[in-house]
Amino acid sequence: MSAIPTERIRNVAVVGQTGSGKTSLVEAIHHYTNKTARMGRIEDGNTVSDFEPEEIKHRHSISLSMVSVEYRGHKINLLDTPGVLDFAGEVHAALHACDIALFVVPASDLISHDTVRVWQLAAKMGKPRMCFVNKLDKERADFEATIDRLAELFGQGLAPIEMPLGQAETLRGVIDLFSETATTYSNGSSSEAPLPDDVAVGEHKAHDMLLEGIVVADEDMMAAYLEGEIPDKSALEAIMAQAVHDSVVYPVVVGSAVREIGVDRLLDFLCEIAPPPGGDADSPVVRTLTFKTIADPFLGRVNLMKVLSGKLVADAELTNARTKTGERLHSLFSLSGKEHNTQAEAACGDIIAVAKLASVRTGDVLSSDKTEPEPEELGFEVPMLRVQVIPAAKGQEEKLALALSKLNEEEPTLRIGRDSRTHNLILSGLGELQITTALEKLERRYQLNATLAPCEVEYLETLAGPSQVEGKYKKQTGGHGQFGVARIRFAPLPRGSGIEFHDEIVGGAIPRQFIPAVEKGLMEAAEHGGMHGYPVVDFEAHLYDGAYHSVDSSEMSFKMAGSLALREALTKTSTVVLEPVMELAVTVPAHLQGDVLGDLSSRRAKVTGTELDEKAGSVTIVAMVPANEVASYASELRSITAGQGSYQATYDHHEPLPKALYNRLAPLADKEK
């Protein structure tokens, strides 16, 4: 593919709910612009953009994929994204790279709130938007009802510039509301035709509404229009192009991807009205942003980059602004699914793929200016669903951790950590489907099998009251024995205080070299756990007396004495179990506030505040909730709000677990005993 200048590049994020036909539309565009290519079908698993085995298995997009096509001297980079919010990180990455978001909405199905959330994200990022009403050939297709629903969900600014000619089984073409002409489709070809009489009245009304909606953006054109002068199509398109660029008008076009109805007109629109990339094409400084990392079975790690300024050429040497290390970008190539097309150079605004860059990860900026400041984070959604990942075979923990870290390079919304107590691997994601799909990739790519288990809640214990005890370790063998006595006063401390050890030995009751051993034994016993097996925290220990033997005492004997002293204190006073409490900030549409508050109440939540955003029509509820009550809240909130809710959770503090709930600790207590 030859290099194309900035003003003729179009970067389009194709977004929408699962089943809307995004991938089918990308397939239709690829086929229309490359007649030698086959027209793949999702059902057959042979589309150009959904080529990963997991995508073929599940029959929907899982990863962001790029399909670049040439049309009328333009290069159009299509970023096909998943429609399931479990993979919202892929949508987020595509929106960072695109210059317009194309929302594919089905005319035959309800528009889900997943689509609304993506629309809101695009609005927050200031991205121009447009809609393609798809599946107008399907049973139950209803164009007018779809437009009404879009207006209800997305608000002002929607501007239908096309109407379908027929719908459902009678769909045969598209009506252009600018020129008031019809385009009909038959056997893969199209032709212009006059408006049929049965649609003329409705079309004229829609045409006048479109005209009035456009001319108000230009005072001179508005004045001429009021005097009866009708602006020509090119003038109207120029006004609309600026309004689209400014994100105040959102055009709506129509068609059927599988029958390739309206696909040519969509391409024309992208070339004529969609905004070209920004950036400084003449800048001597070359800058690129990596917005996606792909694991290619042949090339290894591949980074998708957008050229932010200057012109990128093959073999360029750039500096990673994050690591300050140099990187040589050898071959550059465009992607059409898994097909690679080598390029010698890429203009400002173009999206290019580069392989085998050692230090580059998603979010990195590469620059020819070695003083380039470190980039800000791309702001991916924080994953809230946490599970333990347990390898099927022993001895594979490190191999599993390495494989998961490679998946994290592709999906920044997957996070890998370890449980502080069990040391098991913890995988965090946006939803159950994302996590189970990650396990499928582990098996296919790395031949690793693993199972999932709920994360253990990180309970703690503390002493229920003060005590004064003696820890005595005495052991006699054939040779030297072991002898050590530590007398200690214990007392609980306020939450979050940790463990305080005080040396109050006087007169040599315990030799100085053995006192650290007492503390070490005590600390190890606290970590091992209290009456219920959880780490013991928030207490003070005063070592005030003891006894030793000139021959039989050793560090080991006093370490055991310290451990036994804590054990004795635990037996004497028992313990209080402390449960972790999270601060939860839940954002939902205002009309769902009551439902969410009721659910939080059932989870022992203490609401600390609410904040209403009238402009967005949403409310944010802040509450303190025990961690055990929100272990699977990501999936449950999605169910309660039909996908309209989101939340952030951060650890806040530990507090005593109500005694009525101690029964949930019984199995662990029995195990420890």
211: confidence class by pLDDT, cuts 50, 70, 90: confident
Give Cα separations from 95 to 78, 113, 376, 464 (angstroms): 11, 18, 16, 54
What pLDDT is attached to residue 194? 85
Higher pLDDT, 274 or 50: 274
- Could you tell me the domains of the chain? 6-272 (3.40.50.300), 287-367 (2.40.30.10), 385-454 (3.30.70.870), 461-573 (3.30.230.10), 578-664 (3.30.70.240)
Dihedral sign, Cα of residue 295, residue 301, residue 307, residue 311: negative
What pLDDT is attached to residue 210? 87
Higher pLDDT, 592 or 423: 592
Is pLDDT of 171 > 80? Answer: yes
Is pLDDT of 174 > 50? Answer: yes
User: Any bridge partners for residue 388, and if so which?
Assistant: 426, 453
Is pLDDT of 199 > 80? Answer: yes
pLDDT digits (tens, 9 = 90+) for 270-293: 999 999 999 899 999 999 999 999
What pLDDT is attached to residue 131? 97
Q: Are 76 and 268 in contact (CB under 8 A)?
A: no
Q: What is the mean pLDDT of residues 28-46?
A: 82
Q: What is the mean pLDDT of residues 151-177?
A: 92
Calpha distance 595→599 (Å, rounded): 6
453: confidence class by pLDDT, cuts 50, 70, 90: confident
pLDDT digits (tens, 9 = 90+) for 538-556: 999 999 999 999 888 999 9
pLDDT digits (tens, 9 = 90+) for 63-99: 899 999 999 999 999 999 998 888 999 999 999 999 9
Instruction: Look at residues 276, 445, 274, 292 and name the one whose alpha carbon lies nearest to residue 364.
Output: 292
Q: Give the lowest-confidence range in 117-121, 297-301, 575-579.
A: 297-301
What pLDDT is attached to residue 665? 66
Residue that has been written with the tokens 């098991």 in this structure: 424
Query: With pLDDT > 90 as the criterion, what percentage of the chain qualifies?
Result: 61
Q: Give the lowest-confidence range in 45-59, 140-154, 438-452.
A: 45-59
Q: What is the mean pLDDT of residues 46-51?
A: 82
Give Cα separations from 500 to 18, 458, 520, 577 (angstroms): 56, 21, 12, 19
Q: What is the mean pLDDT of residues 586-601?
A: 93
Q: Are 38 and 275 in contact (CB under 8 A)?
A: no
What rounded mean pLDDT belongs to the chain? 90
What pLDDT is attached to residue 451? 92
Higher pLDDT, 50 or 348: 348
What pLDDT is attached to residue 671? 43
Q: Give the lowest-confidence range in 41-45, 122-126, 147-151, 333-337.
A: 41-45
Q: Are 29 and 40 in contact (CB under 8 A)?
A: no
Q: What is the mean pLDDT of residues 145-163?
A: 91
Calpha distance 139→295 (Å, rounded): 40
613: confidence class by pLDDT, cuts 50, 70, 90: confident
User: Any bridge partners for residue 599, and if so which?
Assistant: none
Q: Where are the alpha helices (DSSP H) in 34-169?
A: 53-58, 88-97, 113-124, 143-154
673: confidence class by pLDDT, cuts 50, 70, 90: very low
Q: What is the mean pLDDT of residues 419-443?
A: 87
HSE-up of residue 151 (Cα within 13 Å, Cβ side): 10
What pLDDT is attached to residue 483? 94
Give Cα separations from 243 to 156, 254, 274, 512, 513 (angstroms): 13, 20, 10, 80, 79
What pLDDT is attached to residue 116? 86
Is pLDDT of 177 > 80? Answer: yes
478: confidence class by pLDDT, cuts 50, 70, 90: low
Q: Give the lowest-confidence range in 101-105, 449-453, 456-460, 509-513.
A: 456-460
Rounded to the nearest angstrom, the gap between the alpha carbon of residue 339 and the centroid of all alpha carbons in its chain is 26
Is pLDDT of 672 > 50? Answer: no
pTM reported for the whole predicted model: 0.81
What pLDDT is attached to residue 642? 82
Is pLDDT of 262 > 90? Answer: yes
Strand order in the sheet with 467-475: 467-475, 482-492, 539-547, 499-503
Q: Give the lowest-confidence range in 525-539, 592-606, 659-673.
A: 659-673
What pLDDT is attached to residue 669? 46
